[in-house]
Amino acid sequence: MIALGWTCASTGVPAPLTLADAGRLRVILAPKDHCNSPRARLALAQACFEAGVDFVPLSATGAVTAATAKRIARSCAQDVQAQMAQISGAGQLLISVALAHSPPPAPTPTTGRAWLQARKNHLSMINKRVRDAHVTLDALTTPLPYPCTAGQETPVTCTRAVLVPRGDVAAARTVLQGLGSRLHPDPALRVDITGLWPAFGFVKRPEPDTVAYA
Amino acid sequence: MSLELHMASPDDVLRAPDKSLADLIDGLLNHGVVIRGELWLTVADIDLVFLGVDLVLASPDKMHAERSGA
């Protein structure tokens, strides 16, 4: 069995998921043959979240065994419960700003100097794109009354997560549409807002308990 | 004219044949609690052997050399 996260819930996980006791917490488990890829694990975590179960999600990139997850639940129960309290009743909207289309190909440099200049121009373009993306993300997330992650970057995308209570999703989307309507269109950028996902961006590896519990 | 926001549900993203939506999953996969550096050999959910990541990543030649004091 593969662990998807930890929860305080005692029921409610959708099939084929099950719950395993681990002291004060429970581990959400999935059969191995149902989660043999990161996408499959993400889909199962999403199904659990949409069933109304609040949980501290494990990263979908790793296949954590049930035994490891139970051991962490028993040794880090305090921190996991504290993280649960922070994200209880909420999930994340993911706001992603990406390059809308590929830039036209540059002429092939014929000299070393030209190659270096072309590379410098390319890096300058990427840096400007990242700055523009952050400006857009700031404009969309700063006015929101919800916690927001600092975000992550690749050369072509900038992404931030916003922690939104389950009942506020429609209102949050409406607010975001309103904020977007005040921004100038930028044909070089594409903005995608997806969710509500489990609060992947608002959890971290639990710390061991400072007080031993019997 | 204003900035266009593309809204999509998780189901749209997970089922998307379109590459741009599928790329959004990358923004999720690296988040969540990450357990690294642990490799437990388990049988029937019973942990048998723990291997730290440094041992897992060490080459056999290096390990043999260290054991022999070379």
Asked if the interface predicted TM-score (ipTM) of this complex is over 0.90, the answer is no
Q: Is B23 on the interface with A (CB under 8 A)?
A: yes
Predicted confidence (pLDDT) per residue in B2-55, tens digit = 778 999 999 988 887 766 666 677 767 767 887 765 444 545 555 555 555 444
Q: Work out the number of other CB atoms within 10 angstroms of the CB of residue A86.
A: 13
Quote the minimal CA–CA distance from B62 to chain A in Å. 28
Contact B32 A59 (CB under 8 A): yes
Q: If residue A173 lies in a helix (H) or strand (E), which one and from where to where?
A: helix A169-181
Q: Which of residues 61-120 of A touch B (CB under 8 A)?
A: 61-62, 64-68, 71-72, 94, 96, 98
Contact B33 A177 (CB under 8 A): no
pLDDT value, residue A214: 41
pLDDT value, residue B54: 43
Count, residues in chain B? 70
Rounded (to 5) percent helix, strand, coil in chain B: 40, 25, 35
Tokens of A163: 């922690």
Q: Work out the number of other CB atoms within 10 angstroms of the CB of residue A187.
A: 8
Q: CA B43 to CA A60: how far, in whole Å?
A: 23
Place of tokens 């998780």: B10
Quote the minimal CA–CA distance from B63 to chain A in Å. 26
pTM higher than 0.90:
no
**A25-30 and A2-7 strand pairing:** antiparallel
Q: Sort out which chain A residues have CB atoms less than 8 A from B8's CB and list them.
A: 192-194
pLDDT band at B57 (very low <50, low <70, confident <90, very high): very low
Which residues of chain A are modeled with pLDDT < 50?
212-214
> If you count residue pairs, one on A and one on B, with CB atoms under 8 Å apart, how many are there?
137
Q: CA B45 to CA B57: how far, in whole Å?
A: 24
Quote the minimal CA–CA distance from B67 to chain A in Å. 29
Q: CA A59 to CA A119: how far, in whole Å?
A: 35
Q: CA A180 to CA A143: how far, in whole Å?
A: 12
Q: CA B31 to CA A152: how far, in whole Å?
A: 10
pLDDT band at B56 (very low <50, low <70, confident <90, very high): very low
Residue whose C-alpha is closest to residue A4's, from A23, A17, A21? A17
